[in-house]
Amino acid sequence: MGICASKPPRPNPYASREEREALENPTPSKTPANGHANGLGRKDDTDAGKKSPFFPFYSPSPARYFLSKKSPAPSSAAASANATPRRFFKRPFPPPSPAKHIKALLARRHGPNNATAILEGDESEGGDVAGLDKSFGFSKQFTSRYEVGNEVGRGHFGYTCSATSKKGHLKGQLVAVKVILKSKMTTAIAIEDVRREVKILRALAGHNNLVEFYEAFEDHENVYIAMELCEGGELLDRILSRGGKYSEDEAKAVMVQILNVVAFFHLQGVVHRDLKPENFLFTTKDENSQLKAIDFGLSDFVRPDEKLNDIVGSAYYVAPEVLHRSYSTEADVWSIGVIAYILLCGSRPFWARTESGIFRAVLKADPSFDEAPWPSLSTEAKDFVKRLLNKDPRKRMSASQALSECFLSLKKVRILVVSFFSTAYNLLFAGHPWIRNYNGVKVPLDILIFRLMKAYMRSSSLRKAALRALSKTLSVDELFYLKEQFSLLEPNKNGSITLENIRMALMKNATDAMKESRIPDFLASLHALQYRRMDFEEFCAAALSVYQLEALDDWEQHARCAYEIFEKDGNRAIVIEELASELGLNPSVPVHAVLHDWIRHTDGKLSFLGFFKLLHGVSSRTLAKAQ
C-alpha cells in the first residue's frame, strides 16, 4: 500500500561481508513482460487504476516523480535465509504513510472486506458484527411496484438498474433503481450511511440539478432506492469522449450547474463529501443536457458552526482538511475545484501511483498552471480555479461566491460602499461576457453569510470598527456578491434587515433537510438583531471574510487602505488591559506578552500590526506561544 519516498539505504556496517556483497551486486532476476519482478508491488497500482481509470490524454504532474517512488528496501526473497534481521539504522525512519490511518478508518466504517482501500498490516478492525439490525422500515412492495430492467451501473456496495413502474403516478415510467446489498453492510456505520442517504434524498427536493427521489423499498437481501433515470451518462464519460477538451464557455456551462446545486444543499445544511465527475449525470444524450447530482451515500448533515471528522470520499478529489479530520462544506468546494481543473486542462491537479502518494500530493503539492493548455487560458479562469483549490478552507470561496464571481475575480475596481449603486458600476457589469451569456443564473443565499455574521455580532466594538473600515475598500465584484446576498434577505423599505428578515429568508429556501441540520436553531446566535436593525454598510462589514481577502494578491493594499480609514474614523488611544478586555481574553493570559506590539508607544493607539491582528482575532497558537 502506501509507498514512502526516501533515500536509498546505506550499507549495514554490522552485516557480514557476504551480505554486503549480495546487496551491492544483486543477482539479476527474470522479469515478466509487465516489467515487475514476480509481478509484485503492482497490486496497489492496479487497484487504483480500476477505481479511477487514467485519462488517456493526461499529462503527468511533475509531482508524480517524487511522490510515487518505490521503496528501496530489498524484497524478502533477495535476502539470505540464514541472515540476521537488520536491527541497526543509520538514518531516520521514512515518514509514515498518510493513507495508513485513513484505510483503517475505512475498514472500521465499511468492514474489512468492503473497505475501498487495501489495509496495511493488521489494521483491519470491525468485520461482521453479530446482531446488526438491517431493517430500515421501508416498504416491502418493490416487486409488486416495479419491473426490473437492465443493469446500467455497478458500484462497490451494489448496482443500479433501470425499472418500469407498474402502478401509481409513475405508472409506465422508466426509473433508476439503486440496489444496495445488505450482505455488504457489515458495520453499524455502513447501515447508518444507507439510512441517512435515503433521509437526505427525501429531504432535499425541488432543485433542477438534483436527481429526483421517488421512494425506497427493502427486502431480506437488499435496499432499493427508486429515483429519476438519467440516460445521458456520467460527466466523466463526456470528459473522456471529448479527450478532455472543454472550452472555457463549455466548462462554465458545466460549472454553473454544479455550483448551483452544491450551493443549494449547503444552504440546507448538507455536505456531499464525494463530489466527482462520476457523481454527475446528464438527463439525456443531448450535448446541452441538464446535469444532475447523484449518490448521497457519504453525505451528512452539518450545522454552519460544526466540523466533521470522519474521513470519506475519493482520493483524487478529497480536500486537505478531510485528511486532517476537521472540515465542513468547504471540502465540497475543493472537490469542485478539482473538477474545474480537469474540465479546463484535461488532467488531474494531484496525481500519484498509489493512494498514499495521492494523499501526500493533496497535502503538500500545488497544482501546476504552467503546462499546456493553461498559458492559453484566461487569467480569470486560472484565478477562479486557484481560489477553489486553496489549501486553507477559510480562504476558499463558497459555492455561492464562486457562482456569483465565476471568472470575474480579477476585475478589480476600487469603489466605496456609499457609491455602490453608481451608473459606472451597472455599466461595467452589464457588459461582461460571463453575465451576458449566463444572465439567467441566480445567486443563491449563502450559508457562509450567517457564520460570518455570528462572528461579527460577538466581536468587540473595536473589531467592528476595523471591519467597517475594511469593508470600505472592497472591490466591485466583492460588493456585487454582498449586494446579492443582502437583497436575498429582503430588507425593509428603509433598506435594513432584522432577525425576522433572516428567519423569513431561510424559511423561504428551506427543505426538510434544513430542519435535520438544525440551521434554524443557529439563528439564536444572531438574537441581537431582534432588537436593532442592520443596514447594507454594516452588513458588508459583518459578512466579509478577512481570510478570503487575505488570499487575494492585493491584500496588502486592502489592509493599508483600511488602516488609513480606521485611523480617521475608529482608532483611539487604548491601554493593553482595556484591549485585552475588548478581545475577551482570559485573566490568566499574559496580556503584555501577547499584545505589547499591538499598540503604538508614541500615542497609545492601535498600530498597523495591531489592526491587522485585530481583524483576525487572537489565535490559540499565539496564546500558547506566549504562555
Residue 204 pLDDT > 70: yes
Structure confidence by residue, pLDDT tens digits, 245-254: 789 889 999 9
Residue 17 pLDDT > 60: no
8 Å CB contact between 64 and 351: yes
Calculate the alpha carbon distances from 579 to 93, 137, 587, 588, 623 in Å: 47, 58, 12, 15, 15
Is 292 known as a binding-site position?
Answer: no
Residue 34 pLDDT > 50: no
> How much is the pLDDT for 568?
86
Q: Decide which of 7 and 155 is more confident.
A: 155
Average pLDDT of the residues in 222-230: 96
Structure confidence by residue, pLDDT tens digits, 299-344: 999 988 889 999 999 999 999 999 999 999 999 999 999 999 999 9
DSSP 307-319: -B----S-GGG--
> How much is the pLDDT for 573?
82
Average pLDDT of the residues in 399-404: 88
> How much is the pLDDT for 619?
54
Residue 395 pLDDT > 90: yes
User: CA 176, CA 213: separation in Å to the nearest integer?
Assistant: 10
Residue 589 pLDDT > 60: yes
Q: Which amino acid is at 144?
A: S
pTM for the model stands at: 0.76
Residues facing 181 on adjacent strands: 222
User: CA 580, CA 598: separation in Å to the nearest integer?
Assistant: 11
pLDDT band at residue 426 under the 50/70/90 scheme: very low
Buried b (16+ CB within 10 A) or exposed e, 182-221: bebbbbeebbebbebbbbbbebbeebebbbbbbbbbbeee
Q: From the CB of residue 421, how many other CB atoms can be counted at a distance below 10 Å? A: 11
Residue 5 pLDDT > 70: no
Average pLDDT of the residues in 202-213: 92
In the set 47, 133, 249, 274, the catalytic residue is 274
8 Å CB contact between 94 and 75: no
Calculate the alpha carbon distances from 197 to 180, 193, 203, 464, 621 in Å: 11, 6, 10, 41, 38
Residue 527 pLDDT > 70: yes
Residue with cell 458552526: 305
Residue 124 pLDDT > 60: no
Q: Decide which of 192 and 584 is more confident.
A: 192
Residue with cell 516489467: 35
> How much is the pLDDT for 206?
85
**Average per-residue pLDDT for the chain:** 77
pLDDT band at residue 526 under the 50/70/90 scheme: confident
> How much is the pLDDT for 55?
45
List helix spans (H) across 494-554: 499-508, 512-516, 519-522, 536-543, 546-550
Residues facing 280 on adjacent strands: 293
Average pLDDT of the residues in 90-103: 51
| Structural domains of the chain sorted by starting position, each given as residue range(s) with its CATH number in brackets | 1-80+235-410 (1.10.510.10), 142-228 (3.30.200.20), 447-571 (1.10.238.10)
CA nearest neighbour of 373 among 247, 282, 234 = 247
User: CA 2, CA 358: separation in Å to the nearest integer?
Assistant: 10
> How much is the pLDDT for 127?
43
Cis-peptide into 373, omega within 30 deg: yes
Q: Residue 320: in which H helix or E strand, if any?
A: helix 320-323
586: Cβ contacts below 8 Å, ≥ 6 apart: none
> How much is the pLDDT for 145?
94
> How much is the pLDDT for 120?
33
Residue with cell 494523499: 359
Q: Decide which of 4 and 587 is more confident.
A: 587
Residue 382 pLDDT > 70: yes
Residue 351 pLDDT > 60: yes
Residue 473 pLDDT > 50: yes
pLDDT band at residue 232 under the 50/70/90 scheme: very high
Calculate the alpha carbon distances from 581 to 153, 420, 566, 574 in Å: 61, 35, 20, 11
Q: Decide which of 287 and 32 is more confident.
A: 287
pLDDT band at residue 602 under the 50/70/90 scheme: confident
Q: Decide which of 592 and 80 is more confident.
A: 592
What single DSSP character describes residue 230?
-
Residue 116 pLDDT > 90: no
Burial (0-12, 13-18, 19+ Cβ within 10 Å), 409: buried
8 Å CB contact between 404 and 387: no
Average pLDDT of the residues in 25-43: 42
CA nearest neighbour of 475 among 439, 433, 425 = 425
Q: Tell me whether residue 569 is one of the annotated catalytic residues.
A: no
